[in-house]
Amino acid sequence: MITQFSTESPVILILSIIVGVAVLIMGRQIFWVFIAGLGFVLGLLFSSQYYDAQFGWQTLFISAGIAIVGAVLAYTVQRLAAGIAGLATGWYFSLVVLSYLNLDLGQIESVIPYIIGIISGILLFLYFDWGVIIASSLAGAAIITSATSLSKNVEVALLSMLAVIGIVIQSIWFMQEK
């Protein structure tokens, strides 16, 4: 399962933590940062799979390209980008959680992330503001946690704590806007 970054490369580690913090805290306030950050991280994960988990400029360029496309989508077709981001966030977050739970669910384990992704995409499309707050907090927490190499129990606690912190911070800012 592709949920962990290669911590051998300090560049990927630093970039993923910076992107994770930006997504965690600023996901709704600067929507395109959420979409671009999520695209960048997913680009890192997928391109590192094709290049044997080695950091190279091709990995960085692919990830940056996906981030730019995501930012342009977020700026031009916000609702569509939100639905796609919800799909990606639900898929990625469920992969991270399933890897921490270490359950043997058989064939259904590969289907669960897609089901959660589809549900997340629909919810984010329908309930934009609160959906973005929750999805970006979960995505930011998962990105930061995936960049660490701590014990599973500590990573689960960190994931939960960061998600709650992100939701609280963004909710306060959202309520102040109203």
Between CA 110 and CA 145 the distance in angstroms is 21
Per-residue pLDDT reduced to its tens digit, 47-82: 766 665 555 677 778 888 888 888 888 888 888 888
- Please report which confidence band the pLDDT of residue 4 belongs to, taking 50, 70 and 90 as the band edges: low
Quick one: pLDDT at residue 55? 58
Q: What is the pTM of this model?
A: 0.80
Between CA 88 and CA 30 the distance in angstroms is 18
HEC letters along the chain: CCCCCCCCCHHHHHHHHHHHHHHHHHCCCCHHHHHHHHHHHHHHHHHHHHCCCCCCHHHHHHHHHHHHHHHHHHHHCHHHHHHHHHHHHHHHHHHHHHHHHCCCCCCHHHHHHHHHHHHHHHHHHHCHHHHHHHHHHHHHHHHHHHCCCCCHHHHHHHHHHHHHHHHHHHHHHHHHHC
Between CA 1 and CA 8 the distance in angstroms is 18
Query: Under a CB-based contact definition with an 8 Å cutoff, are residues 143 and 16 in contact?
Result: yes
Q: Which of 33-42, 85-94, 99-108, 163-172 has the highest mean pLDDT?
A: 163-172
Confidence check: pLDDT of 7 > 70: no
Structure tokens at 93: 């977050």
Query: Under a CB-based contact definition with an 8 Å cutoff, are residues 41 and 143 in contact?
Result: yes
Per-residue pLDDT reduced to its tens digit, 140-152: 998 888 878 788 8
Quick one: pLDDT at residue 168? 96
**Segments making up each domain of the chain, as ranges:** 10-177
By CB atoms closer than 10 A (0-12, 13-18, 19+), residue 150 is: exposed
